[in-house]
């Protein structure tokens, strides 16, 4: 399995967002400028903001935060000439288990995000942008704060940007440790100084977002792609991906592979091809289950390793492209235990607002503990599915939906593993002594 990747698979690598990472000082503005930095901004301001929005629609660029919503369309939803301030909020609260692409981007190429922010704000006519960066991401925040200061000193930010008559202020706002704040409306509540709990929609953030004003919320990758798209053009960006999935994606491989890491490829590459790039599975490991886009996306199996990794193909295979975080597990890993550990996570991170999510995850944790300690019953499997049925679609935000993914998908593909614990064929993984109060 360790053989070098074939020329055909190698040619699928498409370094665009990751290319500057090879220049270790690209986080400094003078180095960034030597590497095409801020050229896209100078190009963009030659056009009317409405033309930039139309161009982004034309490019087919879709959001990189998980939902894949068309970026240009989101920008177009912002009502213009409404007399209200507009805001851009960048969701840099990376924390979906398996996802690790935004932190390296912000650490190593922070100006690409800042430049994307300036272009986006010019287009939607926002004078303030906030980057809500995950609290724990301290080195990323450090580099971002420095990038903002450098950009301000060069006239890219502040009053009268590039002499074009628009003002822009960017604030790097560190969070404080809450996965739920990656959900866009919870993020807004957190940014307004409240507990990070999701809001009921409608109204949507495009009209009633930050401070009840029109707000664009985009993921780091969505915005950092913008300067590249502006420089290369819509047709170039479309040529890098597949139908309905323009551009490149940073695929993050973790787990039982020889060379885990970030592999940027055009949309539509397959897991098998990515594994070839990553040197194959780790020695002694055979692929058993994997997630295409983080823990909130239903797990898939070795059978799905040739499905193109784009929004529509993965949806057809019964999962979600999500954040293209490929967590790869082998025949030495237990899908029941993996699901249990994820449910512990969702129970911990549920904000508590919606009863199905708060209670459902709490009880599923206990059912999993019982199964994994060898005391499970066949009815427990029905209880899990019943809990998922009550969770899915019955909470304000996607956290509750996401929690059901690993439970229902592992029961679909690996029911025998559950039965092996319940019927005593497999040694319990958890100690019954840990089950105090767990029934």
Partner 1 sequence: MAYSEELREQARQIMARYPEGRQRSALLPMLHLVQSHDGYVTPEGIALCAEMIGITKAQVAAVSTFYTMYKREPTGDFLVSVCTNTMCDVMGGQRVYDTLKEYLGVDHDETTADGKITLEHAECLAACDYAPVMTVNYEFYDRVTPDSALGTVEALQKGERPAPTRGARLCTLKEMSRQLAGWSEDRAEALADNSLGDATLAGARMAADNGVTAPQIDPATPLVKKENS
414 vs 439, beta carbon nearer partner 1: 414
Q: Output the DSSP codes for 182-243.
A: GSHHHHHHHHTTS---PPPSSSPHHHH-GGGS-EEEEEHHHHHTHHHHHHH-HHHHHHHSBT
Smallest Cα–Cα separation from 13: which of 270, 277, 349, 316?
277
68 vs 260, beta carbon nearer partner 1: 260
272 vs 378, beta carbon nearer partner 1: 272
User: 429, 337 in Cβ contact below 8 A?
Assistant: yes
19 vs 366, beta carbon nearer partner 1: 19
Question: Measured from the CB of residue 425, what is the shortest distance to partner 1 in angstroms?
Answer: 21
- Is the sign of the CA dihedral 322, 315, 400, 433 positive or negative? negative
Instruction: Tell me how long the chain is.
Output: 439
Question: Measured from the CB of residue 250, what is the shortest distance to partner 1 in angstroms?
Answer: 8
Question: Measured from the CB of residue 415, what is the shortest distance to partner 1 in angstroms?
Answer: 20
Question: Measured from the CB of residue 150, what is the shortest distance to partner 1 in angstroms?
Answer: 11
Q: Which residue is it, tokens 């990553």?
A: 278
Question: Measured from the CB of residue 60, what is the shortest distance to partner 1 in angstroms?
Answer: 14
User: 42, 162 in Cβ contact below 8 A?
Assistant: yes
Q: What is the dihedral of CA 388, 389, 391, 394, to 10 degrees?
A: 170
Question: Measured from the CB of residue 146, what is the shortest distance to partner 1 in angstroms?
Answer: 6
136 vs 401, beta carbon nearer partner 1: 136
Q: Percent helix, strand, coil in the chain (nearest 5)?
A: 45, 15, 40
Question: Measured from the CB of residue 277, what is the shortest distance to partner 1 in angstroms?
Answer: 7
65 vs 260, beta carbon nearer partner 1: 260
398-413 vs 355-372: helix crossing angle, rounded to 10: 30
Structure tokens, 251: 């695929």
261 vs 393, beta carbon nearer partner 1: 261
């Amino acid at each position: 399995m360790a053989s070098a990747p074939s020329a055909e698979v190698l040619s699928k690598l498409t370094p665009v967002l990751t290319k500057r990472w090879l220049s270790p000082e690209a986080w400094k503005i003078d180095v960034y400028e030597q590497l095409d930095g801020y050229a896209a901004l100078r190009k963009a301001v030659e056009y009317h903001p409405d033309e930039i929005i139309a161009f982004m629609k034309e490019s087919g660029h879709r959001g990189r935060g998980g939902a894949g919503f068309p970026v240009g369309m989101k920008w177009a939803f912002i009502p213009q000439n409404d007399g209200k301030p507009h805001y851009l909020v960048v969701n840099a609260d990376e924390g979906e288990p398996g996802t690790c692409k935004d932190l390296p981007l912000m650490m190593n190429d922070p100006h690409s995000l800042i430049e994307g922010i300036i272009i986006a704000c010019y287009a939607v006519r926002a004078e303030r942008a906030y980057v809500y960066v995950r609290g724990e991401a301290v080195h990323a925040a450090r580099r971002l704060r420095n990038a903002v200061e450098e950009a301000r000193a060069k006239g890219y930010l502040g009053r009268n940007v590039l002499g074009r008559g628009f003002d822009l202020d960017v604030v790097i706002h560190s969070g404080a440790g809450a996965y739920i704040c990656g959900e866009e409306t919870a993020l807004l509540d957190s940014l307004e100084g409240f507990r990070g709990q999701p809001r009921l929609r409608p109204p949507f953030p495009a009209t009633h977002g930050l401070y009840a004003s029109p707000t664009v919320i985009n993921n780091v990758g969505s915005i950092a792609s913008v300067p590249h798209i502006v420089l290369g053009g819509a047709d170039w960006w479309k040529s890098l991906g597949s139908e309905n999935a323009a551009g490149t994606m940073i695929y993050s491989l973790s787990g039982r592979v020889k060379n885990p890491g970030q592999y940027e490829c055009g949309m539509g590459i397959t897991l098998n091809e990515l594994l070839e790039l990553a040197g194959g599975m780790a020695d002694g490991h055979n692929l058993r289950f994997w997630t295409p886009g983080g823990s909130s996306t239903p797990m898939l199996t070795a059978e799905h390793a040739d499905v193109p990794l784009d929004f529509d193909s993965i949806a057809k295979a019964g999962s979600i492209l999500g954040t293209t975080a490929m967590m790869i597990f082998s025949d030495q890993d237990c899908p029941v235990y993996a699901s249990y550990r994820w449910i512990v996570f969702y129970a911990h991170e549920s904000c508590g607002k919606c009863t199905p999510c708060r209670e459902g995850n709490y009880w599923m944790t206990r059912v999993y503990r019982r199964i994994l300690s060898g005391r499970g019953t066949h009815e427990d499997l029905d209880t899990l599915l019943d809990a998922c049925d009550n969770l899915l679609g019955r909470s304000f935000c996607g956290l509750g939906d996401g929690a059901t993914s690993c439970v229902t998908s592992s029961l679909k593909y690996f029911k025998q593993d559950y039965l092996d614990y319940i019927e005593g064929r497999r040694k319990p993984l958890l100690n019954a002594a840990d089950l105090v109060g767990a029934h």
